[in-house]
Structure 1
Amino acid sequence: MPTKKPLIAIVDDDESMREATKGLMRSLGFDAEAFSSADDFLRFPHLRRLACLVTDIDMPGMSGLDLHRRLVALGKSIPTVLISAYPDENVRARGFGADIVCSLTKPFGEQDLLDCIRAALACGRHGESGS
């Protein structure tokens, strides 16, 4: 039986960015789910299965940083890649905890994102006990 592909969640209010990132993840052999808001993401029934979260920082309603704080408060540590159109937000986000693996400024290259995803997947393997 084949092993499950890593599941990547993309949270971005920009539909073109969200769909492009989802398509890229799938083309690279990952499972991917995309959400237009942090609230939609938090209703996702398979949070425990996530290998990595890619979230925009600057979104209406709950920001990517607020989403990260909420996940930490819920006891869900998901290796996270933050993206933003504003470089100073990414600099500020770097001190947010060990599960923030990367922060990228839009526009970023596919290889940069892939490097961050690989780092997140490697990070997630260390602390997991297979549950």
Structure 2
Amino acid sequence: MATNLLVCIVDDDDAVRSATESLVRSLGWPTRVFASGEEFLHAADIDDVACLISDVRMTGMSGIEMHERLLDRGCAPPTIFVTAFPTPALEAKILANGALAFLAKPVDATVIAHYLARVCGKA
């Protein structure tokens, strides 16, 4: 069970980032948002993150590259990837790297709620 319930959201699209933050907050979770993978890696205290929600395709570092760096550090939080361009091969790669979920945009709020509940042991 997660002891800290902070959800970090990483997406380079301002509107998507804001909408995801609003959704997660409406579900009762505290959030921090980041406009890039680089920003998250430089600013976040990974120990405080219960769950990471990240876009796959972003300007600069992709969500996959960010997640691989977290794995290399040994500190990847449970991660939900979202993408507007889902493919079976991409899903297989992401899930093989230990991601919590791979979701196609637009993401259903109940699906996000389900995975966040799993993070804190409520599902």
Shift of 1:77: 2.6
The total of aligned residue pairs comes to: 117
Larger Rg: 1
Equivalent residue, structure 2, for 1:67: 66
Deviations, residues 62-108 of structure 1 (Å, cap 9, x unaligned): 111101100011121300001011111334322112xx111100012
Matched residues in 1 for 2:66 and 2:76: separation?
A: 12
Equivalent residue, structure 1, for 2:95: 94
Provide runs of 4+ in structure 1 moved above 3 Å.
none
Equivalent residue, structure 2, for 1:120: 119
Q: Which runs of no fewer than 5 residues in structure 2 stay unpaired? A: none
Q: Does 1:85 align with 2:84?
A: yes
Q: TM-score, normalised by structure 2?
A: 0.87
Q: TM-score, normalised by structure 1?
A: 0.82
With over 3 angstroms needed to count, the CA separation of the structure-2 counterparts of 1:29 and 1:5, relative to structure 1, is farther
Contact 1:82 1:90 in 2 (8 A): no
Q: Which has the higher contact order (CA 8 A, sep 6+)?
A: 2
Q: Which runs of no fewer than 5 residues in structure 1 stay unpaired? A: 123-131
Shift of 1:5: 5.8
1:24-43 equivalences under 5 Å are 24-43=23-42
Equivalent residue, structure 1, for 2:107: 108
Q: Does 1:7 align with 2:6?
A: yes
With over 3 angstroms needed to count, the CA separation of the structure-2 counterparts of 1:69 and 1:26, relative to structure 1, is same
